[in-house]
Chains A and B, each alone.
Chain A
């Protein structure tokens, strides 16, 4: 191998019989290198556009959720009607003291800020729950809380389902639901995204007078003020929605926060 000229070395490589060990290894190495550069290049270059897409979609859904709640656009158009973003410490049910919306994603990278869930607690199938969550409060002109927008997530039939649940000031009446992200079966479970289905959530009650959470996606047509119609052919997705909402409104989810709001701490 005295000749180190890369062009002749390349020619020699190509001239080798295909079955030789050197050529097999070299071909495998070259193909994987080129492919690796291609894939990482595409991912890195397109990453900002994809992130912007997701953020824009989330924003659009949040806006459509708020716009779909009757009276909400008037509230917002009033001078004092404001939407604030708050990070909540879910354990205490209070505003987090040392985490802000800007530092939230860093805080959630730390596994110490996650709580493991036992099988009995884990209705939504999450495995673990973040200790901090970013929620949105809408306040009327008098400064009173009129709406809380709570991000929820659970595991559906094909993958995670992310949604935002809007609760009225009594923290028991649902003002609306927006599904942000889902990968359910198109035409069946994916119908949880359809406005016709989501519009049923408006005005439903979460818990009865004793504080027991009664909300459910019915099997078939809704029979009470706590139920919405089930989706035909998508029982598992419907059940996942029931369990996700029950989990997040329960003691392991936003329960402490809802209690604090009911006590008037916000």
Chain B
């Protein structure tokens, strides 16, 4: 990304082309854990986006005064405090969903996505740009979570956002829920499929091979 990208570019780049989850494979632990239903995926996305934007703003504001030697500690402390505040707010005002997200909200602290953005972008850019970048990345993350969450809820339980779309056999319909979809491995499969699909459409995202196969010695390559 060039330093002179406009705000709109900063906002839209991370949605697909620079998507933090599918291109940089950041923050996938939570992407796998909370996508069993759309509602939890959306709440988690909102919480992560809020933390991302707020921490970007705070860190960008004090970026000229963070000593290099303790910069990671300072960033983590700020991120962790914001996460706790958001978690407390969820427990107070969205109690039911916070029960379902359980520990994963607190784990936003260790989400590599947040630290990745503050470390690589907010530390070098003014607050507005940092916040737009954080919002873009948060939305990129939300997009992936929503897609995976929708697929898992639709095929695992036959519903979307709690609305029964496919009537399951239990309810007298024809659809046999795929229990695999509710297990963590299915999120891996779906995420892998998503990465593959995006990289097929945008081949420039594919990484070059790190190692050459023995059939192609280095000097001929």
Q: At the interface with chain A, which of B13-21, B81-89, B108-116, B204-212?
A: B81-89
Contact pick for B74, options A19, A27, A36, CB 8 Å: A27
Residues of chain B contacted by A32 (CB below 8 angstroms): 77
Closest to A32 in B: B77
Closest to B93 in A: A49
A183–B89 contact, CB under 8 A?
no
Instruction: Determine whether A158 belongs to the interface, using a CB cutoff of 8 Å to chain B.
Output: yes
Per the CB 8 Å criterion, the residue count for chain A at the interface is: 30
Residues of chain B contacted by A183 (CB below 8 angstroms): 99, 102-103
Q: Which of B155-175 contact A (CB under 8 A)?
A: 156-157
A49–B92 contact, CB under 8 A?
yes
User: CA separation between A53 and B90, bound complex, in Å?
Assistant: 11
* Chain B interface residue number, banded: 35 or more
Residues of chain B contacted by A53 (CB below 8 angstroms): 91-92, 95
A42–B40 contact, CB under 8 A?
no
Residues of chain A contacted by B25 (CB below 8 angstroms): none
User: CA separation between A90 and B124, bound complex, in Å?
Assistant: 63
Closest to A16 in B: B65
Instruction: Determine whether A170 belongs to the interface, using a CB cutoff of 8 Å to chain B.
Output: no
B100–A46 contact, CB under 8 A?
no
Residues of chain B contacted by A31 (CB below 8 angstroms): 62, 74, 77-78
Q: A27-B74, A53-B91, A188-B183 are in contact. Are A42 and B67 (CB under 8 A)?
A: no
CB distance from B150 to the nearest CB of A (A): 15
A186–B40 contact, CB under 8 A?
yes
Q: A28-B73, A35-B78, A188-B182 are in contact. Are A42 and B88 (CB under 8 A)?
A: yes
B65–A14 contact, CB under 8 A?
yes
Q: A158-B102, A183-B103, A233-B183 are in contact. Are A35 and B81 (CB under 8 A)?
A: yes
B70–A50 contact, CB under 8 A?
no
Give 1 or 0 for each of A185-213: 1 = CB within 8 Å of chain B CB: 01110100000000000000000000000
User: CA separation between A27 and B68, bound complex, in Å?
Assistant: 11
Instruction: Determine whether B179 belongs to the interface, using a CB cutoff of 8 Å to chain A.
Output: yes
Residues of chain A contacted by B156 (CB below 8 angstroms): 187
Instruction: Determine whether A39 belongs to the interface, using a CB cutoff of 8 Å to chain B.
Output: yes
User: CA separation between A38 and B77, bound complex, in Å?
Assistant: 12
User: CA separation between A190 and B157, bound complex, in Å?
Assistant: 14
Instruction: Determine whether B66 belongs to the interface, using a CB cutoff of 8 Å to chain A.
Output: yes
User: CA separation between A74 and B180, bound complex, in Å?
Assistant: 43
User: CA separation between A232 and B66, bound complex, in Å?
Assistant: 51
13 contacts between A and B (CB under 8 A): A18-B65, A18-B68, A31-B78, A35-B78, A39-B85, A42-B89, A49-B93, A53-B91, A158-B102, A186-B40, A186-B182, A187-B37, A232-B179
Q: What 3 pairs across the A-B complex have the smallest Cβ distances?
A: A187-B182, A35-B81, A49-B92
* B binding-site residues for A, Cβ under 8 Å: 34, 36-37, 40, 62, 64-70, 73-74, 77-78, 80-82, 84-85, 88-89, 91-93, 95, 99-100, 102-103, 156-157, 179, 182-183
* A binding-site residues for B, Cβ under 8 Å: 14, 18-19, 23-24, 27-28, 31-32, 35-36, 38-39, 42-43, 46, 49-50, 53-54, 57, 158-159, 183, 186-188, 190, 232-233
